Chains A and B, each alone.
Chain A
Amino acid sequence: MFRRLRFFGPLVLAAALPALAQKAGPAAWQNDLTAIGPADWNEDFAAHLLERAGFGGTPEEIRALAKLTPAKAVARLVRFEGADAGNLPPFDESGIHDAGLEPFPPTRPAVTDLAKKNGEALGIKVKASGNRRLQPVVDEFFYWLRASVLETNRVAYWWANRMLASPRPLQEKMALFWHGHFASNEAKVRDYRKLLGQLELFQKQGLGNFRDLTLAVAQGPAMLSFLDAGVNVKGASNENFAREIMELFTMGVGHYTEKDIREAARAFTGWNYVDLKFVVNKDQHDDGEKTFLGHTGRFDGVEVIDIIMQQPVTADYIAGKIYRYFVRQDLSPEFQTQLGAVLRQNKYELRPLLEKIFLSRDFYSQASVGTRIQSPVELAVTTYKKLGLKSIPGVPDFNLVTGALGQQLFSPPTVAGWAQGQAWVTPGLLLERANFARDVLFPDISFLPPDRYTGGGEVRRVAERIREGMDISTATKDDAKSGDIAESNKNADRDEEFNTRYGSFRGSQMAIERVKAIPRDTAQVNLSRMVLNADLQNTTQVVDYLIHRFMRVPPGAAARQKLIDFLNKDLGTTNIAEARTYMEQSLRLVLHLIMSQPEYQLG
């Protein structure tokens, strides 16, 4: 048998190697916006397109796209031609929002102050007499904090499933772009409904008109809440909203003055929301004359946004950012101006710009192919996609995984969203990415669902003590540490008219009663079937097939040989027919090794 291996090995090697590296257009195509023609089109290009304008594809999906002309393939992604929306289900609400919760006060002290003043808060009355009269109010406060987090995690699952399963992947990929661009997070907004509304806006209008989208986002309760716009009133404006709109959402830093920010802030005064509805409080709006970016008038917020859209730099800025998201990080100022011009000529309609990019020679040039580091959400979704899964597994938890890798949905770290490119990967995160692959291929049998096994150690400690029959003060006492107790822990020990630790335990308990559970199925992977279906005969073919199916940039020759050697050793044969009944575990190990390659991060 070993003699046979030596004989066939080099032959197979020679036949398989050229197929490994993905074909790219010539280097001269870089910065060339000319559309490619049907003659340029092939499976590697189709795979590249699907990877960037979507979340990658299985060999079957790639083949189907390759059969179209490039123009048709791009139209299918950008204009949804021939891509039936299918029957993607709407988000399945748990129904957790109580009427009295709005307007939700900013802090726990604000809630208890309100309760003391009004005799009720959050729709809950203060107890008439007895111990801890404010406790039910505090419980409700923590209930909502927790319930909103849990429901937001369910929204994230729903969205991730759409990324995986939608026949219109660009819709979701673009929504992900806007989520990072018009970033707002649950930690600040603290209301999944506002975030869900914003996501649906991104899905619905994300490929539409940038001016309309900006306006809709700016008037959405999620952003108004995230940037404190609701408290921006006549006489003393709050600049946060106006600053970020210009700096991050439209123009980029350096194209306006501090005075422009103050004037714009005045124009936005009075913008607010009531529950989920946008309102303008007329008496809080500063209707006076403003001078903004050289224009003078009694502007309101809409007019300010329209003036921003008249600035050529706005189109350049946004076109450049879209390009960096889909294609590559480095782009020259001249090329960026060219892209900005496309957006301007089309009056901020996004589809023509995207079509231009996805059809351009530049997009398929060497500089663009296989040079983009995938974000954590993309890494997870493309991994599932290439495994051929139809839904996002519940184990490992999608949100924990992507969060640990630095991109939890609805939790961008700041209003600037997530830094892209090399910022996604650190030494720690590179190892963590490989661990994700392991958790998919070898599910943790001790997995505890984070939406049930809830809260931090502190909440669980309180819960245990309460069940043991302890009184609330004792149950919520911190474990005494010797010597100096930190100031913050002393504060937590104080007993008040309510007990915040008990409140956070009770709030968790109320939340898990009402928020629906996330299904916890593991990934249904069958690599043996994949290998047999592809009619692979020997281990070298298997390794090359897996590399080609899962990686956009193959590992070096030495690393590839190590993979083959590993599989030979683990299977005890090079012959797949011989190993067909027991090869699943070995195939998973070799796939884990493939997904541990530094090159696996490239899309």
Chain B
Amino acid sequence: MTNRFSFSRSSRRDLLRAGMCGVCVTAGATIPVKAFAQAAAALSTQGNADGKILVVLELSGGNDGLNTVVPYGDDAYYKLRPNLGIPKKEVRRIDEHFGFSGGMAGFERLYKDGKLAIVHGCGYENPSFSHFTSMAYWHTAAPNSGEEYGWVGRLADAMAPQAPPNYLVNIGARQSLAVRSHRHVPVVFDDPNKFSQEKFYEERDALAAAPDSGKVDNPSRRFLLDTAKSAKDASALVREAWSKYRSPIDYGIVGLDLPKVVALIDAGMPTRLYYTSYRNNAFDTHVFQSDTHKRLLTYASDAVYAFIRDLQRIKRADDVVVMVFSEFGRRVPENVNLGTDHGTANLMFVAGTKVKGGQYGQIPSLTKLDPGDNLIYTTDFRRVYATMISSWLGYRDTHTLLNGDFQTFDIFA
């Protein structure tokens, strides 16, 4: 978890951003970014007319949905959460029943501007209470199965079977299972400034060679060679995009990786699918959760709100939506440690200027819980995925992709 009290370990990044490290910019690395990007963009739109972009934001650790969109109009909520229930006066009300957690000014504004959809009761049959298992179900869109590839990765395969470079970007320290693809090698990076091979002038030729593409028996070696190729395809573009990105928009203290997404979109990267996360199980609030959770939500809400405004600034807001999810919600009754344990159904959010703001899906009951005191889900989360895939990105065969029929929501204007 990052917060303003954690001390940044990397001073190098600050220096680079501040432009104090002019001499370390590698010589001779400039590539005509626009030309490259345009060529790649032409490739990527094949089969999908309008070039819409989907950004997925994962809140890892199991966000407590009940303390995010607070059912302050429901007495049962305060009965089950005598200490953790957010007092009515602190809630940012959006209607007679619900309101956002106190720090979520950004989401409140998005909602009131009609740019935020809340989907209630998202979950699946036979829920897992394990972070890793449940997250894998959400990543693969295949609960209780052993699906090997991620749903975003499979989507990339389906939308762009010829696997043009830079179609699928995952910003993070690690590749998510969600983007694991059969044909694409996702572009995975964390710090754009470091997404480069620092080389000396005289090494250029030796490093410019394409990695070995012949037949390779050793599967680990094959993987490394493919990864090297993806790095070659993407790194100069990403770095260039980031170095040109300047935004007056305040993303708040954490910002997540959303400014990087804007930078890439602004630079004309052909990417249609972005995957990012609020990392490291941050939302796993078993003990003393109220301050921590409120802070996490404030950061996430600030970042998403800023993201939409930043997209408006570069005049691309109508091309992008961001979908927010978490691997599960939390147990309805609070635990004795002023925290909450792993639960089941949860909220999802979809934000963007093309979104018809409001609430979707049936609100789960707080009085009819399952035997483990958990919410009973009302919306299969894959309905929201199907909505993104079909209604937003325009890829119609969600049945094959998601292995079943999932009714979409009428969520886009």
A residues at B contact (CB < 8 Å):
106-110, 142, 145-146, 149, 187, 228, 231, 233, 235-236, 238-240, 243, 247-248, 253, 258, 261, 370-373, 399-400, 403-404, 406, 413-416, 419, 421-423, 425-432, 434-435, 438, 448, 450, 453-459, 481-489, 491-492, 500, 504, 508, 553, 555-556, 558-559, 562-563, 565-566, 570, 589, 592-593, 596, 598-599, 601-602
**CA A399 – CA B11 in complex, angstroms?**
13
Cross-interface CB contact of B197 among A109, A236, A596, cutoff 8 Å: A596
Beta-carbon nearest neighbor of B109 in chain A: A484
B35 at the interface (CB under 8 A from A): no
Q: How many A-B residue pairs have CB under 8 A?
A: 237
Chain B residue numbers with a CB within 8 Å of A589 are 200, 202-203
Q: How far is the CB of B6 from chain A (nearest CB, A)?
A: 7
Since A236-B336, A416-B132 are in contact, a sample of 6 more A-B pairs with Cβ atoms closer than 8 Å, ordered by chain A residue number, is A107-B292, A372-B220, A406-B174, A427-B187, A428-B190, A487-B301
**Beta-carbon contacts under 8 Å, B268-305 to A:** 279-281, 286-288, 291-292, 295, 298-299, 301-302, 305
Most buried by A among B128, B198, B372: B198
7 pairs, CB–CB < 8 Å, chain A vs chain B? A108-B5, A110-B288, A236-B335, A404-B194, A434-B198, A487-B298, A602-B220
A487/B14 in contact, CB under 8 A: no
Most buried by A among B11, B105, B281: B11
Complex Cα gap A489–B170 (Å): 28
Tell me how far the C-beta of A558 lies from the nearest C-beta in chain B, rounded to whole angstroms. 7
Given A243-B130, A491-B298, A457:B8 Cβ within 8 A: yes
Q: Is the CB of A430 within 8 A of B174?
A: no
Complex contact A142–B219 (CB within 8 A): no
How far is A331 from B185 in the complex, measured between Cα atoms in Å? 24
Q: Is A555's CB under 8 angstroms from B212's CB? A: yes
Contact A427 B235 (CB under 8 A): yes
Complex CA gap A236/B280 in Å reads 27
Contacts of B133 in A (CB 8 A): 253
* Residues of chain A lying within 8 A (CB to CB) of residue B335: 236, 238
What size tier do the contact residues of chain B reach? Answer: 35 or more
CA distance A399 to B10 in the complex (A): 10
Tell me whether A253 and B132 are in contact (CB under 8 A).
Answer: yes
| From B220, B279, B372, contact of A413 by CB (8 A) | B279
Contacts of A593 in B (CB 8 A): 203, 206-207
Cβ of B227 and Cβ of A373 under 8 Å apart? Answer: no
CB-CB under 8 A from A236, the residues of chain B are 335-336
B224 in contact with A373 (CB, 8 Å): yes
Establish whether residues B206 and A562, one from each chain, have CB atoms under 8 Å apart when the complex forms.
Answer: yes
In order of increasing CB-CB distance, the 3 nearest A-B pairs are A428-B189, A486-B252, A426-B188
The complex places the Cα of A434 from the Cα of B203 at a distance, in Å, of 13
* Cβ A403 vs Cβ B280 within 8 A: no
Which of B336, B339, B372 is A235 in contact with, Cβ under 8 Å? Answer: B336
A398 to chain B, nearest CB (A): 12
Question: What's the nearest-Cβ distance from chain A to residue B28, in Å?
Answer: 16
Contact A228 B223 (CB under 8 A): no
Interface contact B4-A596, CB-CB below 8 Å: no
Shortest Cβ gap from B212 to chain A (Å): 4
Q: Which of A106, A421, A459 has the most CB of B within 10 A?
A: A106
Specify which chain B residues have a CB less than 8 angstroms from the CB of A238 in the assembled complex. Answer: 286-287, 335-337, 339, 341
| B32 in contact (CB, < 8 A) | no
Check if A488 sits within 8 Å of B10, measured CB to CB: no
Q: Which residues of A contact B250 (CB under 8 A)?
A: 481, 483-486, 489
What residue in chain B is nearest A424 (Cβ atoms)?
B174
CB-CB under 8 A from A419, the residues of chain B are 174
Q: B195 — which chain A residues lie within 8 A by C-beta?
A: 427-428, 431
Q: B251 contacts the other chain (Cβ, under 8 Å)?
A: yes
Q: Mark B316-349, 1 if CB is under 8 A from A, else 0.
A: 0000000000000000000111010110000000
**Residue B47 at the A interface, CB < 8 A?**
no
A231 touches B287 (CB 8 A): yes
Q: Using CB atoms, name the residue of chain B closest to A232.
A: B337
Q: Considering the chains assembled together, what is the distance between the CA atoms of A459 and B4 in angstroms?
A: 10
| In the complex with contacts A455-B8, A456-B7, A488-B103, A434-B197 CB distance below 8 A | yes
